[in-house]
Chain A
Amino acid sequence: MEKIEARNVDFYYGNFQALKHISMDIPQNKVVAFIGPSGCGKSTFLRLFNRMNDLVPGARLTGEILIDGKNIYAPEVQVDELRKEVGMVFQRPNPFPKSIFENVAYGLKVNGIKDKEFIAHRVEESLKGAALWNEVKDKLGASAYALSGGQQQRLCIARAMAVSPSVLLMDEPASALDPISTAKIEELICEMRNQVTVVIVTHNMQQASRVSDKTAFFYMGEMIEYDDTKVIFTNPHKEATQNYITGRFG
């Protein structure tokens, strides 16, 4: 079953066409990796899934992006509601200047939930889900800034997961982390696929091959190849894909 469907998507920053005629289906509860050189449009495409580009001056989209069969760019769609369904984790951990507990509880409170018992339960569940609970359970009131970079990134994942999204977008979530923290994030991604559909942008080829079910290769605004990760990394059908993943791409 398809969770996200892109239909003939073209995207422009002013006169510059950043994405060209992209159509793809992202299946539910799978991890899909976007790879490609810098500036190829993979992050731009990712950010379309929760309308992060809406506020970019001159940004314009044609085509359709459907989540659960509904066009998320339809006039009646509330962006706040969309973002409850589609969470996002960025390259650099961006905790709020609040306590660990408040960071995770933030989304719930913004959504009007006042039941303290429920919030405490969701915070614990989310931190456990992000494999952070054991490390922070005795200092939930401490500042999120007191955590290490890897812990902060897992806190951001817990924060995103607290509102129970069905899609999680990750834009190079481990590129600023050491190998141990990276391994934890990758393990989390693999576990989270039971609950959410994950779309991850990464420059790390091994990371894409380790965690994803399907991989899409982008180049100069076009999606060159999209297939099962195993196919992309053992026998890609397009020469450009092979050149990129084997490091022969200038």
Chain B
Amino acid sequence: MVKFVDSELEQLKREVSQMWTLVYNQIEQARDAVMGLDRTLAQQVIVRERRVDAFELKIDSDVEDFIALFTPVAVDLRFVLAILKINGDLERIGDYADGIARFIRDAETDVLDQELLEQLQLGAMFSRVLTMLGELQQAFQNENAALATAVLSQDDFLDQINKASSAILADYARNHPDSIPFCLGLGGVFRKLERTGDHLTNIAEEIVFYIDAKVLKHCSLEG
């Protein structure tokens, strides 16, 4: 029994890892599309979103089969439950990358005000999201609960940037009335990245649940 159960679990882990890499690339390219106003790149992200969705369906189905066929308990049960939730979180993050790419593809502007982007710290926000995604993938791969826990605190930075963005964008729109539609869309990018941070927090909690059987949900870091 041992060998084939382990190989099924390995296979599930491999699939999630592949999806993770795909979602990471989606966010990275969505960033490049935004920062460089690159509509071609944005279109590629939109097309690849279907692959993210396909991964989600496949992993859902494989987890369902595993539970039905192997009735997992203890660490195996926690592992597949965590995978099921991480799968949903990664799919949502993929949706945000797609949404950001669509905004760029449809934006009616040819020039980006680099000074505005700098003031908004959009690049830093993307970088933090990518760092969190990468570190969590590593934590998942290496079963490192401490690394997953460390990622939790990074979400505050995203919340701060998102919070500050509204006032900066409102101010900019007041001074550049032609850019109001673009500013509204750009505000959506911040909200999507902030929500991505929330999903990454969920993923960190799910990794800790799987490894240590601890439930961190709804516990503040301050205790």
- Say whether B75 contacts A246, CB under 8 Å: yes
- Say whether A233 contacts B2, CB under 8 Å: no
Any chain A CB within 8 A of the CB of B107?
Answer: no
- Say whether B74 contacts A233, CB under 8 Å: yes
A221-250 contact mask (Cβ, 8 Å, vs B): 1 or 0: 000000000000111100000100111101
Given contacts A206-B71, A246-B72, contact A234 B2 (CB under 8 A): no
Any chain B CB within 8 A of the CB of A209?
Answer: yes
Any chain B CB within 8 A of the CB of A188?
Answer: no
Any chain B CB within 8 A of the CB of A205?
Answer: yes
- Say whether A247 contacts B213, CB under 8 Å: no
Give complex CA distance A245, B76 in Å.
10
Give complex CA distance A248, B72 in Å.
12
Number of interface residues of B (CB under 8 A): 13
**B221 to chain A: which residues have CB within 8 Å?**
none
Any chain A CB within 8 A of the CB of B73?
Answer: yes
- Say whether B77 contacts A234, CB under 8 Å: yes
- Say whether B71 contacts A246, CB under 8 Å: no
Any chain A CB within 8 A of the CB of B78?
Answer: yes
Any chain A CB within 8 A of the CB of B111?
Answer: no
Any chain A CB within 8 A of the CB of B68?
Answer: no
Please report which residues of chain B, range 74-89, place their CB below 8 angstroms from some CB of chain A when the two chains form the complex: 74-78
Any chain A CB within 8 A of the CB of B1?
Answer: yes
Residue of A nearest to B214 (CB): A235
Any chain A CB within 8 A of the CB of B57?
Answer: no
Given contacts A234-B213, A235-B213, contact A242 B74 (CB under 8 A): yes
- Tell me which of B1, B5, B6, B73 contacts A233 (CB under 8 A): B73
- Say whether B77 contacts A247, CB under 8 Å: no
**Would you give the shortest CB distance from A237 to chain B, in whole angstroms?**
10
- Say whether A235 contacts B74, CB under 8 Å: yes
Other than the given A205-B73, A234-B78, 19 more pairs (CB < 8 A) read A205-B71, A206-B71, A233-B73, A234-B73, A234-B74, A234-B213, A235-B74, A235-B78, A235-B213, A236-B74, A242-B74, A245-B73, A245-B74, A246-B5, A246-B72, A246-B76, A247-B5, A248-B6, A250-B2
* 6 A-B contacts (beta carbon < 8 Å): A205-B73, A233-B77, A235-B78, A247-B1, A247-B5, A248-B2
**Chain B interface (Cβ within 8 Å of chain A)?**
1-2, 5-6, 71-78, 213
